Structure 1
Amino acid sequence: MTIDEACIGCIINQSLKVANAIKADEVLTEKLVSEVTKSSKDFSFSLTPPEVATDVYEMMALIAEKQDLYDEVKAHSTQKALEFVPFLQYKIDNSKDKLLTAVKVAIAGNVIDLAAEVEFDLADEVEKIFDTHFDYDEFEKLKASLKEAQTLLIIGDNVGEHIFDYLFIQTLKELYPLLYISYMVRGNPIINDVTMKEAEEAGFDKLCNLVDSGVNTPGFTYDRANEESQKLFDSADLVITKGMGNYECLSPARRTNMAYLLKVKCSVVASSLGKNIGDIVCKMI
């Protein structure tokens, strides 16, 4: 999906979020906001929101002289997410439907999004997610696809959320022991998206096949991915994408037998899905 007029204000607002995250002084804050505002006049409406955001974040990184704008925030997000692991593992272990519970765990983690129009509290989300129904509910289709699949690709989204994805993959390995699972991350730091660094620190390289997509966008942009990732995306029996960035980059879908798992956190994505901000989505293609 390509950017909407509403995306412009959202992206400009992200310059303030960056300034706060890096504890920028007044001069640097003003420069970040003014440069992003200036660049917004040239945004291409033929690009996806993550593609536009990539150029903006790379510019802000140069201005701030900081390669990973959210390194400290990402470390905090990981530690915060780890605090919920015992409770989430308990919920999965004692669930009558472990797959459904694990899918909801994966979606609960999707609230950790530093580029969203609307922010949600992680603790509140974890507390209510298990009693929340999917607003776009194609869980049974996903379950049927998992039963038939031999290879699965999960495309990750944000740091902190990846801890919840780890529990999801653990459960999938228990339920489908013959399923070959790959977990794909971003090629370099962009916003608070998960990269090889955070995935390896969490132990994904020992849990499943860990793949660097090569993309520099906060979402899987197929044409920017390395050859290995493109082949894996094309050949996997089933692809599960996490979050809005991946949805924005992969909508309309490039393939069939693909699932979107996400929390709706902006009006543009809500409109695209015909849902509301705050809804949780399990959509199959």
Structure 2
Amino acid sequence: MAGTMKASSDCYACLQRLTYQAAGLATEDERIRREAIGEGLKALEQNFSTDNVTIVIATKIHNVIKEITGSPDPYKEVKKREIEIAGRLYHEMCPAENWDFGNCLRFAARGNTMDFFKRFDSIEEDMVKPVTFVVDDSEHFERKVKHGGKVLYLADNAGEVYFDMPLVKWLGQHADVIYVVKPSPIQNDVTLEDVGYAGLETELGKIMTTGTATPGIDFSLASTQFVQEFESADLIFAKGMGYYESLTELPAEGKVLHCLRAKCGPVARSLEVPLNSYVAMLR
């Protein structure tokens, strides 16, 4: 199951939507917005290929839009709202301190329901629904964690930090955990600044960045420190579709647990699961 995740024809339309959305969030100036959309679509046309990975194409689009609009963080207000909603939901759901691995994992997966393409009211509705993994390798991963060593926790969206916290703490009882975020803004991915805004700097333990502002991870742009930590880690916990799309470029070694909700057709087809299914897949 789950081979390399390249761009498909469906991805083109999604990247078009992303271009319009990012430009719309980046500026209120109609002239600049039109220019940003035009150049963003040009970058999409120039870089789109079914031999390419969507995160690479998306990064080029975002960089063009940021440069033209002068906005370094188009999703800043979106992320703040995500964090505020997630913080409220976290306290309402009140996770127990004695939760086992399974409960912590499902809670973390629930956070991956956050999706900046969706309305916030529908996100809240989804986040109170039960989580069931269609692919579930969690017990195998749990056994591996209990052997100790180092676990890299690759975080996804800004609003998910609260939902990651119980699992990060559980993992920290058995292994050396490093929580990995982005060094600077890209889409609604969590950054060091976002962790600070949520007030969770001390709750998540050791934190480092990938060294590059790309969705998922582009190893050709990542920092040497991150690459070294990634290669030396005993286990990788990878949240979200961006990391799934990028890490399937690497050989499967049985040390990466992908935890995500398959929110788009191409990812669901790659995983061979129904759309919007939750997955905890060891690869």
Compute the displacement of 1:5 (Å): 1.8
For 1:119 and 1:44, the matched residues in 2 are separated by: 30
Partner of 2:112, secondary structure, is helix
Shift of 1:234: 0.9
Partner Cα distance (1:226, 1:203) in 2: 24
In the other structure, the counterpart of 1:270 is 268
Task: Indicate the RMSD between aligned Cα atoms, in angstroms.
Answer: 2.3
2:132 maps to which residue?
Answer: 133
Instruction: Go from structure 1 to structure 2 and tell me whether the alpha carbon gap of 1:24 and 1:277 turns closer, same or farther (over 3 Å shift).
Output: farther
- Separation in structure 2 between the aligned mates of residue 168 and residue 280 of structure 1, nearest angstrom: 16
Deviation of 1:2 (Å): 2.2
- The alpha carbon displacement at 1:121 in A equals 2.9
Residues 71-90 of structure 1: pairs in structure 2 closer than 5 A: 71-90=76-95
The reply on whether 1:230 has 2:232 as its aligned counterpart is no
Return the offset for 1:206: 5.4
46, 49, 55: which is aligned to 1:50?
Answer: 55
Amino acid at match of 1:229: F
Q: What is the CA distance between 1:178 and its match in structure 2?
A: 4.2
**Percent of aligned pairs with the same residue?**
25
1:241 counterpart = 2:242: no
Shift of 1:256: 3.1
Could you tell me which runs of 5 or more consecutive residues in structure 2 were left unpaired when the two chains were aligned. none
| TM-score under structure 1 length normalisation | 0.88
Please, which of 104, 107, 111 is the counterpart of residue 106 of structure 2? Answer: 104
Deviations 1:98-146 (A, max 9, x none): 2111111111111223268x999332222113xx321111121122122
SS at match of 1:222: coil
Q: What is aligned with 1:193?
A: 189
Counterpart for residue 213 of structure 1: 210
Partner Cα separation in structure 1 for residue 262 and residue 62 of structure 2 = 22
Q: Aligned pair count? A: 276
TM-score by length of 2: 0.89
Q: Which residue of 2 aligns with 1:36?
A: 40
Q: Any unmatched runs of 5+ in structure 1?
A: none
Aligned: 1:10 with 2:14: yes
1:172-187 mapped onto 2 (5 Å cutoff) = 172-173=171-172, 177-187=173-183
Output one character per residue of 1:69-118: Cα deviation in whole Å (capped at 9) or x when no partner. 1111111111111001223333x4475xx2111111111111223268x9
Residue of 258, 281, 284 corresponding to 2:282: 284
Structure 1 pair 245/190, CA: closer, same or farther in 2 (3 Å)? same
Structure 2 residue 169 is matched with structure 1 residue 170: yes
CA distance in 2, matches of 1:275, 1:35: 35
- Asked whether 1:155 is paired with 2:151, we answer no
- The amino acid of 2:261's aligned partner reads K
Q: 2:205 matched to 1:203?
A: no
Residue pair 2:101, 2:170 contacting (<8 A) in 1 also: yes
Q: Tell me, what secondary structure is at the counterpart of 1:112?
A: coil
| Alignment CA distance shift 1:274-1:187 (3 Å) | same
Q: In 2, Cα distance between the equivalents of 1:207 and 1:5?
A: 38
SS in 2 for 1:42: helix
